[in-house]
Structure 1
Amino acid sequence: MNSPAIVVSVIIPVWNEAGHLYQSLKTIVEFIRQATSYFELIVVDDGSTDETWSILTAASTEIPELEGIRLSRNFGKERALCAGLEHARGQAVIIMDCDLQHPPELIPIMIEQWRLQGVKIVECVKKSRSKESLSYRISTNMFYGLIQKLARQDLRGASDFKLLDRQVVEAWAKMPEKITFFRGMTAWLGFSRVELEFDVAPRIDGKTSWSPISLVNLALHAIVAFTSWPLRLVTIVGMFSFVVAVILSIQTIYMKIAGMAVTGFTTVILLLLCMNSMIMLGIGILGEYIAAIYDEVKGRPRYVVSQRTGVQSMDTGVLNRDEIAFTNINQNSYVQLIKNNLNL
């Protein structure tokens, strides 16, 4: 006899979230249960150095749907999301943060939108943000502006808080690159989608783990992964520099022949500084792409799992959208639900 099929998988990556983890998980589970009784909660511990894993292990004894995955070290949020997506078994998969800045009260609405409208992606878009520094907002706007101009993907207001249909998850799984940018990858996949706006609430506890350096690294990875325009920019700058050099050469030769050459090194020094700066910039851009190629050809796994806890062996069936039963919609009786979901 097979167990009932999982309707929804909820994936939560965490890193050093011990201060509020248990309370957040209990709150999130309450809202999931408003929509369906058949779900799994996958929490990926991205190599935390505090008591996160101990709390997660203890919580799994109280929350039977909870499955904890502990990575062997800190691989980064993007790869932690990969671990969750590759272990998810639900017909719909929700990705969210654990600090409750992604409001869990939207979970039943997201599931309802997916079930009734038949869309493949329910995208939660930031309507307003919590308190952020001016420099952070400026850098964020610059980053999304570059992505829109170079990769033609409008990610302004986008977040990792979204619901993906099983078809989208399977399409995502066919993208094997090691350098991942989840928001960009789901935008690139396409599929029908609907947007839900939300206000970003203050963190329930602690402060963000995103440092300026980590944000710069994320921006570089995203640009390298989704556009080759920086490489073309090097070519364009090189062509422009060549044209300028030809014009200056003609002018210098003319000044020499006409006997109007001016003694001095100011112009030469300035030209050398400009040319060297452009050369170093070009080498830097090439280096980023070569490093990305190097990561890909090594063929190392995106992450390494060291421990798992909670539900691991549930046998899931494959259900159509109309066959899935939700607790807030009384379409079938409990007996009929069991007949539909079990293979007797």
Structure 2
Amino acid sequence: MLVDVRPELSVVVPMFNEEDVLPLFVERLRPVLDEMGVAYEVVCVDDGSADATAVLLQRYRRDWDQLRVVRLRANSGHQAAISAGLARARGDWMVTIDADLQDPPEVIAEMLETGKREHVDVIYGVRTDRSTDTRFKRTTAEGFYKVMNKLGAQGAMNAGDFRMMSRATVDAVLALPEQNRVLRLAVPTLGFPSSEVGYKREQRAAGESKYPLSKMLKLTLDSITGVSHAPLRFATWFGLAGFVIAFAVMLFAIISKLSGHSITGWASTIVIISVFGAFQLLCLGILGEYVGRMYTSLQARPTHYIAYDSLETSEANREF
């Protein structure tokens, strides 16, 4: 069911254990949206938080009619939480932003203005200044985007999940059959007209990062296997290279045997076996990643389950 006024703008915010930063986020976000002069809604997706995030959200709903709470039954991951929010948002324009205030809410107004002025479907928030990030974070992020570009991924450099999309773009993204879609790569592949808005990335306002190294590695792996078949080609080339080396070693062994200079010792044998074993394991691992993605797609299991939506609850109470 829909409320009386359909919002022009939906702000989708995935949240996981954000009780420390949530008050600061609301304090900065609400004035920005109120001053924009457009009908809006804020869709906060509680991704199975174990702290007081859900309680705080319900508390803020009491005097903020535009705030909407969607709670997932279990922690499903950052990308799944964003997809859940996009699927339930009702705006003509939708912007995704994290609650940690590293991406400034003040940029949302500029994004909407850019989208209307330039008649584009996607406005990427590009991190033009990452001086607040650690050297390790900057280096790995730069390497990630360079690798993605080499593999054929489109999109702006240093553009994370802070972006604004038109309703047509969101509908196209949600129609994609991928189970583990990485939105920062899936959106550019659509080829819709786009623009960029630069901003300085700030330090996290409070709390701890919800993207440790393990999750970053998983995101990278999903990105690589989701955007390109290049690793499969690497496996093929490794196999061909191994065949050539094995053939050369075989010729050398035959010539050495015929000339009476046969190879002695076991070290060389162990080295050769180890090298080819490593190649084979690497190729099997790469193939396994793609087979795993195919298996997941064939299962077609939902990436998330909705436990509660404050909009539906409010509408039900109104009818009653």
TM bucket by the smaller chain? over 0.9
Alpha-carbon contact 1:65-1:310 (below 8 Å) kept = no
Deviation at 1:55, TM superposition (A): 0.4
Q: Could you say if the C-alpha distance between residues 287 and 155 of structure 1 is closer, same or farther in structure 2, counting changes exceeding 3 Å? A: farther
Task: Establish whether residue 282 from structure 1 lines up as the match of residue 300 from structure 2.
Answer: no
In the alignment, the residues of structure 2 paired with residue 62 and residue 102 of structure 1 have an alpha-carbon distance, to the nearest angstrom, of 25
In the alignment, which residue of structure 2 is the partner of 1:111? 112
Which stretch of structure 1 is more off in the superposition, 145-154 or 165-174? 145-154
TM-score normalised by length of structure 1: 0.87
Alpha-carbon contact 1:100-1:201 (below 8 Å) kept = yes
In the alignment, which residue of structure 1 is the partner of 2:240? 239
Deviation at 1:312, TM superposition (A): 6.4
TM-score normalised by length of structure 2: 0.93
Amino acid at match of 2:24: Q
1:193-208 map, 5 Å? 193-208=194-209
In the alignment, the residues of structure 1 paired with residue 31 and residue 140 of structure 2 have an alpha-carbon distance, to the nearest angstrom, of 36
The structure with higher relative contact order (CA 8 Å, sep 6+) is: 1
Q: Could you say if the C-alpha distance between residues 64 and 130 of structure 1 is closer, same or farther in structure 2, counting changes exceeding 3 Å? A: farther
* C-alpha distance after superposition, 1:207-240 (max 9, x if no partner): 2111111110111111111111111110111011
In the alignment, which residue of structure 1 is the partner of 2:63? 62
Alpha-carbon contact 1:61-1:310 (below 8 Å) kept = no
Task: Establish whether residue 179 from structure 1 lines up as the match of residue 180 from structure 2.
Answer: yes
In the alignment, which residue of structure 2 is the partner of 1:217? 218
Amino acid at match of 1:86: A
In the alignment, the residues of structure 1 paired with residue 138 and residue 206 of structure 2 have an alpha-carbon distance, to the nearest angstrom, of 21
In the alignment, which residue of structure 1 is the partner of 2:168? 167
| DSSP-derived class of the 2:126 partner | strand
In the alignment, the residues of structure 2 paired with residue 38 and residue 81 of structure 1 have an alpha-carbon distance, to the nearest angstrom, of 21
Amino acid at match of 2:51: D
In the alignment, the residues of structure 1 paired with residue 285 and residue 79 of structure 2 have an alpha-carbon distance, to the nearest angstrom, of 24
In the alignment, which residue of structure 2 is the partner of 1:124? 125
| DSSP-derived class of the 2:161 partner | coil
Which stretch of structure 1 is more off in the superposition, 122-131 or 232-241? 122-131
Deviation at 1:81, TM superposition (A): 0.5
1:237-316 map, 5 Å? 237-310=238-311
Alpha-carbon contact 2:232-2:286 (below 8 Å) kept = yes
**What are structure 2's unaligned runs of at least 5 residues?**
316-320
In the alignment, the residues of structure 2 paired with residue 66 and residue 154 of structure 1 have an alpha-carbon distance, to the nearest angstrom, of 31
In the alignment, the residues of structure 2 paired with residue 2 and residue 157 of structure 1 have an alpha-carbon distance, to the nearest angstrom, of 37
Amino acid at match of 1:48: S
In the alignment, the residues of structure 2 paired with residue 312 and residue 172 of structure 1 have an alpha-carbon distance, to the nearest angstrom, of 27
In the alignment, which residue of structure 2 is the partner of 1:341? none
Q: Could you say if the C-alpha distance between residues 108 and 88 of structure 1 is closer, same or farther in structure 2, counting changes exceeding 3 Å? A: same
* C-alpha distance after superposition, 1:79-117 (max 9, x if no partner): 000001100111111111111111111111111111222
In the alignment, the residues of structure 2 paired with residue 96 and residue 121 of structure 1 have an alpha-carbon distance, to the nearest angstrom, of 14
In the alignment, which residue of structure 2 is the partner of 1:147? 148
In the alignment, the residues of structure 2 paired with residue 225 and residue 312 of structure 1 have an alpha-carbon distance, to the nearest angstrom, of 37
In the alignment, the residues of structure 2 paired with residue 230 and residue 2 of structure 1 have an alpha-carbon distance, to the nearest angstrom, of 48
Q: Could you say if the C-alpha distance between residues 51 and 228 of structure 1 is closer, same or farther in structure 2, counting changes exceeding 3 Å? A: same
In the alignment, the residues of structure 1 paired with residue 130 and residue 285 of structure 2 have an alpha-carbon distance, to the nearest angstrom, of 33
In the alignment, which residue of structure 2 is the partner of 1:340? none
How many residue pairs match? The answer is 314
In the alignment, the residues of structure 2 paired with residue 310 and residue 20 of structure 1 have an alpha-carbon distance, to the nearest angstrom, of 24
Amino acid at match of 1:44: V
Which stretch of structure 1 is more off in the superposition, 125-134 or 91-100? 125-134
Deviation at 1:77, TM superposition (A): 0.4
In the alignment, the residues of structure 1 paired with residue 120 and residue 17 of structure 2 have an alpha-carbon distance, to the nearest angstrom, of 34
* C-alpha distance after superposition, 1:64-84 (max 9, x if no partner): 011101111111100000001
In the alignment, the residues of structure 2 paired with residue 76 and residue 270 of structure 1 have an alpha-carbon distance, to the nearest angstrom, of 42
* C-alpha distance after superposition, 1:19-68 (max 9, x if no partner): 12133123212111222341111000111110000001111111101110
Q: Could you say if the C-alpha distance between residues 28 and 2 of structure 1 is closer, same or farther in structure 2, counting changes exceeding 3 Å? A: closer
Deviation at 1:156, TM superposition (A): 2.3
Alpha-carbon contact 1:10-1:96 (below 8 Å) kept = yes
Alpha-carbon contact 1:148-1:155 (below 8 Å) kept = no
Which stretch of structure 1 is more off in the superposition, 291-300 or 214-223? 291-300
In the alignment, the residues of structure 2 paired with residue 298 and residue 69 of structure 1 have an alpha-carbon distance, to the nearest angstrom, of 25
Amino acid at match of 1:281: L
Alpha-carbon contact 2:153-2:227 (below 8 Å) kept = no
In the alignment, the residues of structure 1 paired with residue 160 and residue 230 of structure 2 have an alpha-carbon distance, to the nearest angstrom, of 24
Q: Could you say if the C-alpha distance between residues 57 and 313 of structure 1 is closer, same or farther in structure 2, counting changes exceeding 3 Å? A: closer
Alpha-carbon contact 2:127-2:200 (below 8 Å) kept = yes
Q: Could you say if the C-alpha distance between residues 305 and 231 of structure 1 is closer, same or farther in structure 2, counting changes exceeding 3 Å? A: same
Alpha-carbon contact 1:21-1:52 (below 8 Å) kept = yes
Alpha-carbon contact 1:43-1:68 (below 8 Å) kept = yes
| DSSP-derived class of the 1:278 partner | helix
* C-alpha distance after superposition, 1:236-261 (max 9, x if no partner): 11011101111111111111111121
Greater than 6 Å deviation, 4+ residue runs: 311-314
| DSSP-derived class of the 1:218 partner | helix
Task: Establish whether residue 82 from structure 1 lines up as the match of residue 83 from structure 2.
Answer: yes
